[in-house]
């Protein structure tokens, strides 16, 4: 399945193991916060074997029900975490971009959802046994872990608001604003945004159909709020209007 596997099995450096920004992404949205500058590949501190893996577009990294043994950090590309119903319905619980973690939320012994590469993606895989060494990790790291988990939950809460009580326009606008923040883009007119996903992914994240997503984006384009240079690219032309739309003031 996985193509291009390089395994590091270096000796532990003899010191207290550095958890290397094991920033606890427990399975929903990746949330890094200021974690970006924590390491970015400081794999070397880990006491156990870590592997670098590459995945093609739409390739599964792990699937709902698989035995859970590892968690992952995205180094390049993008990952979606989703749940599939028997009848084909799909809900995306979150996305992961470079610097973010996923695969820790294994209730019991199995993954509760499926992780797939949305584009060509490189990840680092860590065995869960790394977590058992949490005791010996630094206090700084541990409080960082808690902060990131809080951020995780806040992201999920925001997602709940969108799905439960926002209109279609509000959801689309909120989604785009979230993507701007997530990808480190400023909130200013003319900013270009690479979505790295198709309309179906947006629909399954927002609990809508692909048609509704298309229509709403077209509406925003017609209103001069957005530009759409390509299917996976968005230019925000009037950020203020987009924010108003997200807040239901349009």
Residues that bind DNA (CB under 7 A): 167-168, 198-200, 207-215, 217-218, 228, 230-232
CB of 153 to DNA, least distance (A): 25
- Among the candidate windows 1-9, 45-53, 143-151, 218-226, which touches a second copy by CB under 8 A? 143-151
Nearer to a second copy, 108 or 230 (CB): 108
SS3 state of residue 249: coil
Comparing CB distances to DNA, the nearer of 131 and 235 is 235
Cβ neighbours of residue 80 closer than 8 Å, sequence gap 6 or more: 92, 94, 95, 96, 115, 116, 118, 197, 201
164 near a second copy (CB under 8 A): yes
| CA–CA dist 175, 248 (Å, integer) | 14
x/- track of binding to a second copy for residues 169-208 (CB under 8 A): -----------------------------------x-xx-
Burial 233-249 (b: 16+ CB within 10 A, else e): ebebbbbebbbebbeee
Helix (H) or strand (E) holding 214: helix 210-222
Find the shortest distance in angstroms from Cβ 108 to a second copy.
9
Residue 185 tokens read as 């883009």
Q: Which does residue 87 touch among DNA, a second copy, none (CB within 5 to 8 A, set by kind)?
A: a second copy
Contact indicator for 70, 126 with CB cutoff of 8 Å: yes
Nearer to DNA, 51 or 166 (CB): 166
Question: Pick from 134, 77, 131: which is nearest to 100 by CA?
Answer: 77
156 binds a second copy (CB under 8 A): yes
Nearer of residues 125 and 199 to DNA, judged by Cβ: 199
Q: Which range in 4-12, 118-126, 139-147, 219-227 contacts a second copy by CB under 8 A?
A: 139-147
Q: Does 163 bind a second copy (CB under 8 A)?
A: yes
Instruction: Verify binding: residue 131, a second copy, rule CB under 8 A.
Output: yes
Burial of residue 66, with CB atoms counted within 10 A of its CB: 0-12 exposed, 13-18 middle, 19 or more buried: middle
- Any idea which residue has 């509406």 for tokens? 219
What is the spatial distance between Cα 232 and Cα 194, in angstroms, rounded to a whole number?
A: 6
Q: Report the partner that residue 210 touches, choosing among a second copy, DNA, none (CB closer than 5 to 8 A by kind).
A: DNA
- 232 makes contact, choosing from a second copy, DNA, none, with CB < 5 to 8 Å by partner type, with DNA
């Amino acid at each position: 399945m996985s193509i291009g596997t390089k395994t590091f099995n270096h000796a532990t450096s003899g010191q207290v193991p550095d958890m290397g920004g094991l920033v606890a992404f427990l399975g929903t949205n990746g949330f890094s916060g200021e974690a970006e500058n924590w390491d970015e590949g400081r794999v070397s501190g880990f006491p156990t074997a870590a592997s670098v893996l590459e995945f093609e577009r739409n390739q599964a990294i792990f699937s709902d029900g698989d035995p859970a043994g590892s968690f992952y950090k995205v180094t390049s590309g993008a990952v979606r975490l989703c749940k599939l119903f028997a009848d084909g319905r799909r809900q995306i619980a979150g996305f992961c971009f470079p610097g973010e973690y996923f695969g820790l939320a294994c209730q019991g012994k199995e993954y509760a959802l499926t992780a797939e590469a949305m584009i060509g993606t490189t990840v680092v895989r860590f065995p869960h046994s790394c977590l058992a060494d949490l005791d010996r990790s630094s206090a700084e790291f541990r409080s960082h872990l808690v902060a990131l988990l809080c951020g995780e939950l806040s992201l999920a809460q925001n997602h709940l608001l969108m799905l439960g009580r926002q209109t279609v326009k509000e959801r689309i606008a909120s989604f785009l604003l979230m993507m701007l923040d997530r990808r480190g883009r400023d909130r200013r007119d003319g900013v270009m945004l690479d979505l790295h996903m198709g309309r179906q992914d947006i629909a399954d994240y927002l609990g809508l159909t692909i048609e509704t997503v298309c229509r709403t984006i077209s509406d925003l384009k017609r209103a001069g709020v957005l530009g759409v240079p390509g299917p996976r690219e968005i230019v925000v032309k009037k950020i203020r209007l987009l924010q108003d739309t997200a807040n239901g003031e349009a």
